[in-house]
Amino acid sequence: MDFELSKEHQLLQRAVREFAEAEIAPLSAQIEEKKEIPRNLIEKMAEFGLFGVPFAREYGGAGAGEMGYCLMMEEIGKVSSSVAALLGAHIGIGSMAIYLDGTEEQKRKYLVPLARGEKIAAFALTESGAGSDAASIQLSAVRDGNHYVLNGSKIWITNGPIADVIGLFAVTDKALGARGGVTAFIVEKGFSGFSIGTIDEKMGIQGSSTGELVFEDCRVPVDNVLGQFGAGFITAMKALDIGRMGLGAASLGGAEAALQKSLEYAKYREQFGRPIAHKQAIQFMIADMATEIEALRSLVYRTAWMADTGQEFRRLADICKLFGSEVASRAADRAVQIHGGMGYMRDYFVERMYRDARIGEIFEGTNEIQRIVIATDLFRELGVRIRP
């Protein structure tokens, strides 16, 4: 057993940390206030190579694998959850769907500019009537010559309003449903019949753009069917495995930042004649944060290593998402508590973190759904089939 990161991954980790501290951290408050990630930051991130970390070099990626992806998400998660959401949706699920199941031609045409950050990706599965029950989506795709005609809408799509390329999931056979009746498509923002609907106002990650995508007789060429016809649900689930692992990594970064801020504050804030660091009540919160962080780090890195070495990592990815998001929420909660009244003040780092952390327990499958999936998987090994 060897816990040492490769030299390249160490260099990558350090470089991303420096970039995040120098280029993203100073803007992170402004990103929330303006509810937008500035275009020139996105360009800098693209040039630096953040948009293609795990993808093979031949497709414009860094070739850093899932380990590189997780190390990157951890560092970004420390400074801005909104930027982490942008990258998570872009890499972990949006581009990943094309990387996993796209044809060579589709990869050349779409993945290369996505990996280089010249274009932004989104992943559109959720509908107003289909959240946790993603298999019940309604958006329909009907063949018409060399095109499919799409009708329906998707809601709460991360990067949706700013995306150039969208991995979209639509019903091609209602009777079959998720088992053979859902097909994935690659949609360009310029396709006729596609438009952006409501742009959402959120509790946290306000710099991340979230919105509704509307399809009214939207024409998508048959060449843009992603993966096997009718196998779209499988594509979605495979991409979400990577996405959830990355979410765990970003949560790790968030929790680490919460701990760091808490340590600094407790060291300096004096009450009753001494820094509050000397109070056991504070020490216990700090120790619990550190303990959970170390457990999460081992989990995330091991899951990435499993993925990179071609082993089955699906259940672990779900566990990363479940445990990671809850560790991050608890860490943010403790950080607010340690900061006392200061922790409740708007636009103070930990107040923002507290709001930002909450989404981790909801998107990419709620934590209830993760628990169900994990347990279903465990029971399956015993031959018990759990019904949702």
Chain contacts with ligand FAD (rule: CB under 6 A):
89, 123-126, 131-132, 156-158, 202, 210, 269, 271-272, 276, 279, 281-282, 337-338, 340-342, 344, 359, 362-366, 368-369, 372, 388
**Cα-atom radius of gyration of the chain, to the nearest Å?**
21
The residue assigned the tokens 């504050």 is: 265
The residue (of 63 and 197) whose beta carbon lies closer to another protein is: 63
Residue at 216: amino acid letter:
E
Of 67 and 139, nearer to ligand FAD (C-beta) is: 139
Nearer to another protein, 115 or 214 (CB): 115
The nearest distance, CB 90 to another protein, in angstroms, is 14
61 binds another protein (CB under 8 A): yes
Among 66, 127, 326, 364, the active-site one is: 364
Q: Least distance to another protein from the beta carbon of 323, Å?
A: 27
Instruction: Give the one entry of another protein, ligand FAD, none that residue 256 binds, where binding means its C-beta sits below a cut-off of 5 to 8 angstroms depending on kind.
Output: none
Element of type H or E holding 339: none
Give yes or no for residue 12 binding another protein (CB under 8 A). Answer: yes
Q: Treating both helix axes as pointing N-terminal to C-terminal, what angle do 280-308 and 65-79 enclose, rounded to 10 degrees?
A: 150
Angle (CA) 129-133-139 rounded to 5° is 50
Residues 6 or more apart whose CB falls under 8 angstroms from that of 83 comprise 24, 28, 31, 37, 41, 45, 76, 207, 208
Residue 62 in the binding site for another protein (CB under 8 A): yes
Selected range binding another protein among 7-15, 253-261, 282-290, 337-345, rule: CB under 8 A: 7-15
Q: Of ligand FAD, another protein, none, which one does residue 365 interact with (CB within 5 to 8 Å by kind)?
A: ligand FAD
Residue 15 in the binding site for another protein (CB under 8 A) = yes
Q: Closest by alpha carbon to 260, among 102, 83, 74? A: 74
Contact (Cβ atoms closer than 8 angstroms) between residue 76 and residue 246: no
Structure tokens at 267: 């060291």
Distance CA 54, CA 67 (A): 8
Biggest CA-to-CA distance, the chain:
79
Does residue 312 carry a catalytic annotation?
Answer: no
272 binds, among another protein, ligand FAD, none (CB under 5 to 8 A by kind): ligand FAD
Count the residues of the shown chain that bind another protein, applying the rule CB under 8 A: 22
Query: From the list another protein, ligand FAD, none, which binds 136 (C-beta under 5 to 8 Å, kind-based)?
Result: none
Tokens of 132: 């946790």
* Contact call for residue 57 and another protein (CB under 8 A): yes
Nearer to ligand FAD, 126 or 325 (CB): 126
Residue environment code for 314-329, b if the CB has 16+ CB neighbours within 10 A, otherwise e: bbbbbbbbbbbbbbbb
The token duo for 384 is: 């018990």
Give the residue carrying structure tokens 């998402």. Answer: 321
Q: Which string of x and - marks every residue 34-53 that binds another protein (by CB under 8 A)? A: -------------xxxx-xx
- Distance (Å, rounded) from C-alpha 337 to C-alpha 282? 9
Q: Which does 71 bind (CB under 5 to 8 A by kind): another protein, ligand FAD, none?
A: none
Which C-beta is closer to ligand FAD: that of 3 or that of 272? 272
Q: Which is nearer to another protein, 34 or 57 (CB)?
A: 57
Task: Select from another protein, ligand FAD, none the partner in contact with residue 380, using the beta carbon and a kind-dependent cut-off of 5 to 8 Å.
Answer: none
* C-alpha span between 53 and 64 (Å, rounded): 6
* Nearest in space to 29 (alpha carbons), one of 355, 358, 386: 355
Quick one: what does residue 337 bind among another protein, ligand FAD, none, with the CB cut-off 5 to 8 Å set by partner type? ligand FAD
3-state class of 310 per DSSP? coil
In the complex, least distance from residue 309 CB atom to ligand FAD, rounded to whole angstroms: 28
Q: Is 7 in the site for another protein (CB under 8 A)?
A: yes
d(CA 62, CA 39) in angstroms, rounded, equals 22
Catalytic residue positions? 364
Which residues contribute to the site for another protein (CB under 8 A)? Answer: 6-8, 11-12, 15-16, 18-19, 47-50, 52-53, 57, 61-64, 68, 72
